[in-house]
Amino acid sequence: MSLSDTGVAERSTGAPSAGAGRSGRGLTERLLAVRELSLLLALGALVLVTTLRNDRFLSGQSVKDLLLGCAILVILAVGQTLVIVTRNVDLSVGSILGLVAFATGELFLAAPGTPWPVALVTGVALGAVCGAVNGGLIAVARVPALVITLGTLYAFRGVDYYWAAGQQINAADMPRSFLRLGNQTVLGVPVLFLVALVVVAVAGYYLRSYRSGRELYAIGSEPAAARLSGIPVGRRVLAVFVASGALAGLAGVLYAARFGTLDAAAGTGLELQVVAAAVVGGVAIFGGSGSVYGAALGAVLLTMIGSSLAVLRIDPFWQQAVVGALILAAIGLDRLLALRMAARLRGRSAHGA
């Protein structure tokens, strides 16, 4: 398997290299590497076309805005990838983000002196609790994650609205050190984006190099076989939802730091963008394959389409249509690759046996 075993991913995202010196990559890996490559090509083409029309698109400020803009989506896409790989889906991430963002604001209102790391940890913990609710309900009710998280999507948002009661939190209510976190740069790179990079690298490395990470792929690839091979399927799926919730919590805290102004509607509808990013990034919706690197690139691509259409002065209406076309193209590409690979593997099987 594995997108996550490809060297391309390492090169493209700067994840630590574990497979240094591994030679003779198989046909599969080379084929699967195409996904990250084609995403990079699409990104490159988009940059090129947009820059030709408006050379300010590649200016320092514009790139910084782009990196800042995609960071939150990237973090959510990583969490979503962990879930989708196990043949599940988490639709509640937008609501968790909104709830945690509002809770962070409330925390600073109630205790103005709270240092920002405490707020960060609190937010991640709250997100993890929400994820545990998802995972627990799925384990107990034995209902598909799609249905459960569709329910909690509304439930968490409802809690958010009830709590906010129409109130809005403003940047003035939050400490400056916290807000700086959302806009500061290190060597020109936004801190938010660096956080996202660390999340991608850690998750990508975990999925590729640890037994439990490999087991997530096994669960999504064939759940019945996973049970028979002694994988603790229930525990792993619960853990995946907790991780997805925690990452949504992290994203919520960062959202609060970045925007400063919060109401109960923060992050509404974000879940579909997240799923779209993962699918465009080559994460198979029925589980078993895909990498966080691809999903992260998908998130970058979706964000960049938004800003580049604005630069190109194209009606925002088209943005949705383009995203839709991109998803269909990604799925079409997957199908084509799968068919080609199946044909070639059959050929090899005949020789191998």
24 burial level (CB within 10 Å; 0-12, 13-18, 19+)? exposed
Contact status: 139 vs another protein (CB under 8 A):
no
- Distance in Å, CB of 283 to another protein, minimum: 12
User: Are 271 and 91 a contacting pair, CB within 8 Å?
Assistant: yes
Q: What is the DSSP string of 246-292?
A: HHHHHHHHHHHHHH--B-TTTTTTHHHHHHHHHHHTT--TTSS---H
The rounded distance, in Å, linking the Cα atoms of 228 and 72 is 38
Beta bridge partners of 189: 186
Does 141 bind another protein (CB under 8 A)? Our answer is no
Interaction between residue 230 and another protein (CB under 8 A): yes
Using CB under 8 A as the binding criterion, the count of chain residues that bind another protein stands at 43
Site string for another protein, 286-325 (x = CB under 8 A): --xx------------------------------------
Binding of another protein at residue 333 (CB under 8 A)? no
* Separation CA 216–CA 88 (nearest Å): 11
Residue with tokens 């973090």: 75
- Output DSSP code: residue 185: E
Which sign, positive or negative, has the C-alpha torsion 117, 119, 121, 127? negative
Q: Does 235 bind another protein (CB under 8 A)?
A: no
Give the one residue of 124, 257, 276, 284 binding another protein; rule: CB under 8 A.
Answer: 284
144 near another protein (CB under 8 A): no
**2 scored as a contact of another protein (CB under 8 A):** yes
- Which of the residues 57 through 76 are near another protein (CB under 8 A)? none
Q: Which residue number, 22 or 176, has a Cβ lying nearer to another protein?
A: 22
Pick out residues in 170-229 that bind another protein (CB under 8 A).
208-211, 214-215, 217-218, 220-222, 224-229
Task: Supply the minimum distance, in Å, between the C-beta of residue 233 and another protein.
Answer: 10
The reply on whether position 263 binds another protein by CB under 8 A is no
Site string for another protein, 15-34 (x = CB under 8 A): ---xx--x--xxxxx-----
As a whole number of angstroms, the distance between CA 340 and CA 121 comes to 46
**Which residues are paired to 185 by β-bridges?**
190
d(CA 7, CA 155): 41
User: Residue 340 interacts with another protein (CB under 8 A)?
Assistant: no
Binding site for another protein (CB under 8 A): 1-2, 5, 18-19, 22, 25-29, 208-211, 214-215, 217-218, 220-222, 224-232, 284, 288-289, 341-342, 345-346, 348-350, 352-353
